[in-house]
Amino acid sequence: MTIVDTGEVRLHVQRLAAHPTAADTGPVGTVVLLHGLLTDSLASYYFTVAPAFAAAGLDVVMYDHRGHGRSGRPPRGYGLEAFVDDLDLLLDRLGVRTPVHLVGNSYGGTVAFGLARRRPERVASMVVVESEPATAAWAVKLAGLLDRVRREMSVNEDGALAWIATHHGGHTARLAKSAGRLVRDTTLARDIPASAVLDDDDIRAIGCPVLALYGADSDLADQAPRMRALLPHCETQLLPGHRHSVLVEAPDRVRALVLDWVGRHSRPPAAARGRAR
């Protein structure tokens, strides 16, 4: 475990080095894994796809967002801009100078879109899973979601946690309890909906290749044609039989799609470059 102080917040970071035997044959570069909001953490990657990415030849960076997991939990400062700042500063602190491949799940994908718009030179490609850019409609949706969480965890926390434990297990209930504290004890529920948002022209200006993955039964599946229409270099995939929890329900499929995508948008491995001379 590594704690990196960005100057704004202390972030819990895990790095997995590319497996040396894959260095000359697999995809090349650094992949940064960005998790979702409230009940999520880097663990959702650590126990699913991250080890396979390292085994395939990628350097892997994953971290807990501010307020999540083992990262610092400041009382205020949770606008989307702060999460994008954290990612930008973290890459500086880690000495990552070359463009990275961003993989963002849910809110993590929204952070990825934010960095790609602000610092396009830092982003080689993106894979977003069940995600969308920050827009006016997104802000309204997040406001409703966060307000509902705040009310449910303030008015009847014990009842809500008991229901979650019964239907989803004790581990999920513990995550929900931590999420409730985050919403109740910080300004996150006010800050995120008040974030600066992107209009269609901003989204069109994101020039890196983007792969957008959605559960075919998810409420976000209708984002697929919109993303293809707005982003200049975008492909989409709908995963049948899945809703929002694509990453944890279909990790093998996500892993295969990400490795193929990164392989298509990274520099050739050293051995291939040597043969081409």
* Nearest-angstrom CA–CA distance, 164 and 157: 11
Distances from the Cα of 227 to the Cαs of 4, 132, 143, 206, 266, in angstroms?
Answer: 34, 8, 22, 11, 22
Same domain membership, residue 211 and residue 251: yes
The maximal CA–CA distance of the chain, rounded, in angstroms, is 68
In one letter, which amino acid is 134? A
Same domain membership, residue 206 and residue 78: yes
Same domain membership, residue 237 and residue 147: no
Same domain membership, residue 123 and residue 68: yes
Asked if residue 146 is part of any domain, the answer here is yes
pLDDT at 276: 40
Same domain membership, residue 120 and residue 40: yes
Same domain membership, residue 224 and residue 119: yes
* Nearest-angstrom CA–CA distance, 26 and 160: 46
Q: Return the axis-axis angle of helices 136-155 and 170-185, rounded to nearest 10°.
A: 110
pLDDT in tens, the chain (277 residues): 799 999 999 999 999 999 887 656 667 899 999 999 998 899 999 999 999 999 999 999 999 999 999 999 999 999 999 999 999 999 999 999 999 999 999 999 999 999 999 999 999 999 999 999 999 999 999 999 999 888 776 655 566 556 555 656 666 657 667 788 899 899 999 999 999 999 999 999 999 999 999 999 999 999 999 999 999 999 999 999 999 889 989 999 999 999 999 999 986 655 444 444 4
Domain's final residue, options 158, 175, 194: 194
Same domain membership, residue 69 and residue 85: yes
pLDDT at 152: 76
Asked if residue 78 is part of any domain, the answer here is yes
* Nearest-angstrom CA–CA distance, 224 and 130: 10
Tokens coding 7: 């100057």
pLDDT at 277: 40
Contacts of 274 (CB under 8 A, 6+ apart): none
Same domain membership, residue 180 and residue 61: no
CB 77 within 8 A of CB 83: no
pTM value surpassing 0.85: yes
Range of the domain at 140: 135-194
Same domain membership, residue 147 and residue 261: no
In the chain, how many domains are there?
2
Domain's final residue, options 194, 221, 245: 194
CB 134 within 8 A of CB 198: yes
